[in-house]
Amino acid sequence: MSNIYIIVILLASITVHEFSHALAAYLLGDHTAKHEGRLTLNPLAHLDPIGTLAFFLLHFGWGKPVPVNEDNLKSGQFGYVLVSFAGPFSNFFLAFLAALPLRYYIWQGIIPESNLISILDITLFINLTLFIFNMLPIPPLDGFSIFSAIFSKYLKFYEKEKIYSAGIGILIILIGLSYINIDVFGFVFSKLLPPLRYLVFSIP
């Protein structure tokens, strides 16, 4: 399959991810992201130049974090959990949408044009991978934001800037280990991708 399809699907998936954070924040009362032009599906509003370049060079990257003012959110910490989860959930939902026609083809015994199968399959794979990666409880990933919001009353030592800086260092180390055949992320994905793939194919 042409790399251009993979790049387009990846960038579109990241755009939907970041847009979903902005939309959830807006619906819950915080208009910060909207005022900064992030409540849009325009990829240029969400793609970080360095993070995008890293995707091509290191096969790892990031979008621009969506600004959220927690004080404006309805439902307090629960609202922040919803905003944090909105991004990963959007990737899971995109994977589910990609699985729908694949399930139909399998059930009906239809063999469609091969490029269509490839596009749907890579969409499924990329979005499940983004879901797993972003749900890891490592700052500054969404999984840690969810964890810290739920357990904020117990994290008296929590200093966001310091914790996030340390988390970025951890991510860089874990990525670096993959180049010396200690692929932590590969191990995680190999364990979680199959059951998640089975799940999206099983949802009625």
The residue ranking higher by pLDDT, 172 or 51, is 172
Cβ atoms within 10 Å of 68's Cβ, excluding its own: 22
Q: What amino acid positions are annotated as catalytic residues?
A: 18
Whether the model clears a pTM of 0.75, i.e. scores above it, the answer is yes
Angle between helices 76-108 and 184-202 (to 10 degrees): 70
The residue ranking higher by pLDDT, 98 or 171, is 98
Residue 1: pLDDT over 70: no
Sign of dihedral through CA atoms 137, 140, 143, 144?
positive
In this prediction, residues 167-176 reach a mean pLDDT of 83
CA distances from residue 12 to 8, 15, 144 in whole angstroms, order as listed: 6, 5, 24
Domain holding 190, by residue range, is 3-202
What pLDDT score was predicted for residue 160?
A: 63
Contact 134/171 with Cβ under 8 angstroms? no
Rg (CA), the chain: 18
Point out the least confidently predicted range of 103-117, 165-179, 182-196.
103-117
What pLDDT score was predicted for residue 198?
A: 94
Distance CA 174, CA 35 (A): 35
Q: Which of 59-73, 87-101, 115-129, 159-173 has the highest mean pLDDT?
A: 87-101
Structural domain count, the chain: 1
Kindly report, residue by residue over 4-41, the tens digit of the pLDDT.
888 889 989 999 999 999 999 999 999 999 999 999 99
